[in-house]
Amino acid sequence: MDEKYKKDSLEQKYNIIKDNRYIMEEVIVPISKVLNLPIDEVVEIFVRKCDSATLYELHAYAEQARMGCLGRKVDIDLGLCWLSDFFGLISRKDADLIRKKVVESHILHKKPYKEALEEGRKLILQLLKE
Amino acid sequence: MDEKYKKDSLEQKYNIIKDNRYIMEEVIVPISKVLNLPIDEVVEIFVRKCDSATLYELHAYAEQARMGCLGRKVDIDLGLCWLSDFFGLISRKDADLIRKKVVESHILHKKPYKEALEEGRKLILQLLKE
């Protein structure tokens, strides 16, 4: 009986992930890519490490993560990490605004990442050439 | 007289940067690449925005920045941002250790970035499969 319960619960957890296209596309696939790990193994990791409640909330976490982690990528891709945090050529406030603008352009307004980045780059150049 | 002083000072500032190969290679060139801006214009920005004392210290800042900003790149490239900060599948302490190991492998032990990253990836997989 316990074994059956455990199996059902595992199956339920698999289904929570596999039935949610957003989780699959925005969480499982990207993690599978960076870790160079088959998609099924990534799903298994989440199933083993998270309880059902957490898996149900994965969608919300994923949206936060997408915004937050993209912000860090923008920092790297635009050199904001160097220009603002270490050399102080751009104020932290301006860096925050530029990062936010690029992230929103891409995620909320669906601009291709390269175009969104280009907008940010122009804002940086304006500030640096002031 | 004032004009001459200003010109000498500017020239001195240009020289501080241009005579320092480390600054050129580790600061000016990378920023020139991310901003898609000619090298001379990047030098000019630093000359205009920084005083001589800051330029003399650029070397030290640059080393800190290289370590710090590479850490953020590792976060992105290994998905640590997702796995640790947002999904909690890897503890913050473990994520810090893995990030540090990759950064040190590449910067201190001169391993190619891809190899250093691969070491980090293996550590992550070990933790996730525990």
For B75-110, the pLDDT digits (tens) are: 999 999 999 988 889 999 999 999 999 999 999 999
Tell me the nearest-neighbour CA distance from A114 into chain B, angstroms: 12
Helix (H) or strand (E) holding B38: none
> What does the H/E/C string look like for B111-124?
CCHHHHHHHHHHHH
The residue count of chain A comes to: 130
Q: What is the mean pLDDT of chain B?
A: 91
Q: In this structure, what is the dihedral angle of CA atoms B75, B80, B81, B83, given to the nearest 10 degrees?
A: 170
Residue type, B115: E
Q: What is the DSSP letter of B89?
A: S
- Asked if A45 reaches chain B (Cβ–Cβ under 8 Å), the answer is yes
Q: What are A51's two structure tokens?
A: 């309880």
- Asked if B83 reaches chain A (Cβ–Cβ under 8 Å), the answer is yes
Residue of A nearest to B121 (CA): A35
Residue of B nearest to A120 (CA): B35
- Asked if B130 reaches chain A (Cβ–Cβ under 8 Å), the answer is no
The answer to whether residue A63 scores a pLDDT higher than 70 is: yes
Q: What are A7's two structure tokens?
A: 């199996």
Q: What is the DSSP letter of B84?
A: I
Residue of B nearest to A57 (CA): B87
Residue type, B44: E
Question: Residue holding tokens 């200003």?
Answer: B6
Maximum mean pLDDT: which of A2-6, A120-124, B62-66:
A120-124
Q: Which of B80, B69, B71 is nearest to B124 (CA)?
A: B80
ipTM rounded to 2 decimals: 0.82
The answer to whether residue A61 scores a pLDDT higher than 90 is: no
Contact B65 A45 (CB under 8 A): no
Q: How far is B63 from A99, CA to CA, in rounded Å?
A: 24
Q: How far is A120 from B9, CA to CA, in rounded Å?
A: 32
The answer to whether residue A1 scores a pLDDT higher than 80 is: no
Q: What are A31's two structure tokens?
A: 């993690």
- Asked if B64 reaches chain A (Cβ–Cβ under 8 Å), the answer is yes
Helix (H) or strand (E) holding B85: none
CB B46 within 8 A of CB B28: yes
